[in-house]
Structure 1
Amino acid sequence: MTKRCEGKLALVTGGAQGLGRAHCIRLAQEGARVLATDINGAGAQETAAIINAEMGEGTAFGIAHDVTDPAQWDAAIDAAREHLGGLNVLVNNAGIGVGGNIETCTFEDWKRCYSVNVDSIFHGCQKALPLMREHAPGSIINISSIAGLIASDTMPAYNSTKAAVWMLSKSIALHCAKKQMGIRCNSVHPTFVDTPILDGTAKAHALDKDVLMEKLARQIPLKFVGEPNDIANAVVYLASDESRFMTGAEIKLDGGISAM
């Protein structure tokens, strides 16, 4: 049986851990060849090693990549050409969270949040499109957040960056459709997911991880926190030709929060 992402050539940013690693593994399991990139190059290479141990050498590769640096995007696209033979799936997963309300958030943190969460996607899509056009049909998948659709008083920087990703994705989708590139662009909007980020959150608030998970689960109608594969499975769908009629759209993976 043909796998869902057979023949897909995917670059996944933030691929060293958490959601990014899950995206890489699930794409590879469904037949894609994968380039994991991360500012933590060793972590990206570890992701590739995990995949290659399961699916064979040459399935995945890992490189160091600062997504805020346009020159490093050039290098990442060159690496996709070299290691994968092209590119037709781009998963812009790398991102950071910044706290502080409008009175306490520093401008430095604001700019850093925009650099990682928004500017990187601008650079990535602009740099990737020429190669993706050569290997169309293709799919750009931008990982936003439910925080891009539902505001909070405590994180204006994060809220606004993730809202920007949502609307940027729609603009890119319309551009690619107008130019008949054969490339789609959609955004994914998770809520709380059990990744190493939550370990850091628990530590920062001097909470036991289980206590934090229970507190977060109470905010979700389904009453549980998501797992990385809950998000990665949606990425597989968007990367595959199953979603060929879907562009400029968003997938909410929030356990029902946005329905409240």
Structure 2
Amino acid sequence: MGRLAGKVALITGAARGLGEADARTFAREGARVVLTDVDEEAGQAVAADIGGSAWFRHHDVRDEQQWIALMAEIKEREGRLDILVNNAGVVMPSTPETIEADALRFILDVSINGTIWGCKHAIPLMREGGSGSIINLSSITAVQGHARSAAYTAAKGAVDAYSRAVAVYCAQLGLPIRCNSLLPDRIDTPMVRGMAAAVQSFDPALADNAGSKPENVYGEVSDVANLALFLASDESKFINGQSFVIDNTASITKGAVPARIVG
């Protein structure tokens, strides 16, 4: 039997990148997986490729009403929810002096509000089922800072902090629901590659800080998905309210860390 046999997982932002990797990993380990994203064509394709243990719904995480409808459908179709991965996020170049209102609202709304609504509406369904693991995607920027991704840094810092609030809330009420956050550094995904190029154009003089130099090291999506799998499984039943940095010492080491290079 797989490590997630009998469990139902919901993963947002699952059409590509880390969300897709989580969905494929969870399905291989026996979970039934609900994938959501605003990119319907790509999301449907991933779900179809995974097969009968997965289904997809178009879902804008900023909209609380869509969360309510989605949870109702999951309850009707699956009868329970055991795992929520709040993975959806967006990043745009900005500095503390150049943040623009529309971009700021969009970034915060997706990462912060999307995570808050997800936790709010997952907890009751997990409570009914008798167990739950919530995994929120923060970022290494939450602890290290990123001068050219200022709004994203603010959003991911909030996600990390909110994860502890959810964990403490559930623990103090005696609910069998855990909440932890993941803080990856550069992982080889379309979003990270796109961000590196965007920052290079935005401020070439400080491109090194964005990881756009070809010799810089990227992690693999499996580096994050395998940790998410552990946190989603019963193997981590006593791990709650923790922040997991995934960066091969990059946040505590000066310069690039010698390791495998992707691409």
Report if TM-score (shorter chain) is over 0.5. Answer: yes
User: Match for residue 171 of structure 1?
Assistant: 165
C-alpha distance 214-158 of structure 1, shift in aligned 2 (>3 A): closer
Q: Is the 8 A contact 1:65 1:72 kept in 2?
A: yes
CA–CA distance in structure 1, aligned partners of residues 159 and 54 of structure 2:
27
Paired residue secondary structure (1:246):
coil
Q: Does 1:236 align with 2:258?
A: no
The alignment's C-alpha RMSD in Å is 2.0
C-alpha distance 11-96 of structure 1, shift in aligned 2 (>3 A): same
Question: How far did 1:42 drift?
Answer: 2.3
CA–CA distance in structure 1, aligned partners of residues 43 and 221 of structure 2:
16
Q: Which amino acid aligns with 2:241?
A: G
CA–CA distance in structure 2, aligned partners of residues 185 and 257 of structure 1:
25
Higher mean alpha-carbon deviation, 76-85 vs 137-146, is at 76-85
User: Match for residue 73 of structure 1?
Assistant: 67
CA–CA distance in structure 2, aligned partners of residues 150 and 11 of structure 1:
29
Question: How far did 1:199 drift?
Answer: 4.2
User: Match for residue 151 of structure 2?
Assistant: 157
User: Match for residue 128 of structure 2?
Assistant: 134
Identical amino acids, percent of aligned pairs: 40
Q: Which runs of 5+ in 2 are unaligned?
A: 205-209, 254-263
Q: Is the 8 A contact 1:34 1:84 kept in 2?
A: no
- Pick the aligned partner of 1:251 from 228, 231, 244: 244
Could you report, residue by residue, the CA deviation over 1:169-228 in whole angstroms, capped at 9, with x for unpaired residues? 001000000111100000001011111124434654479xxxx9782653xxxxx31111
Paired residue secondary structure (2:167):
helix
Q: Is the 8 A contact 2:8 2:78 kept in 1?
A: yes
Q: Which runs of 4+ in 1 moved over 6 A?
A: none
Q: Does 1:49 align with 2:54?
A: no
- Pick the aligned partner of 1:119 from 113, 117, 131: 113
Could you report, residue by residue, the CA deviation over 1:89-124 in whole angstroms, capped at 9, with x for unpaired residues? 000000001211111110111111110010111111
CA–CA distance in structure 2, aligned partners of residues 189 and 44 of structure 1:
24
User: Match for residue 256 of structure 2?
Assistant: none
> 1:56-95 counterparts in 2 under 5 A?
57=52, 59-95=53-89
Question: How far did 1:156 drift?
Answer: 1.8
User: Match for residue 17 of structure 2?
Assistant: 18
Count of aligned pairs: 246
Question: How far did 1:136 drift?
Answer: 2.3
C-alpha distance 217-72 of structure 1, shift in aligned 2 (>3 A): farther
Could you report, residue by residue, the CA deviation over 1:32-91 in whole angstroms, capped at 9, with x for unpaired residues? 100000111222221211111xxxx2x010010000000111121122223322101000
> 1:140-219 counterparts in 2 under 5 A?
140-201=134-195, 204=198, 205=200, 215=213, 218=216
Q: Is the 8 A contact 1:10 1:88 kept in 2?
A: yes
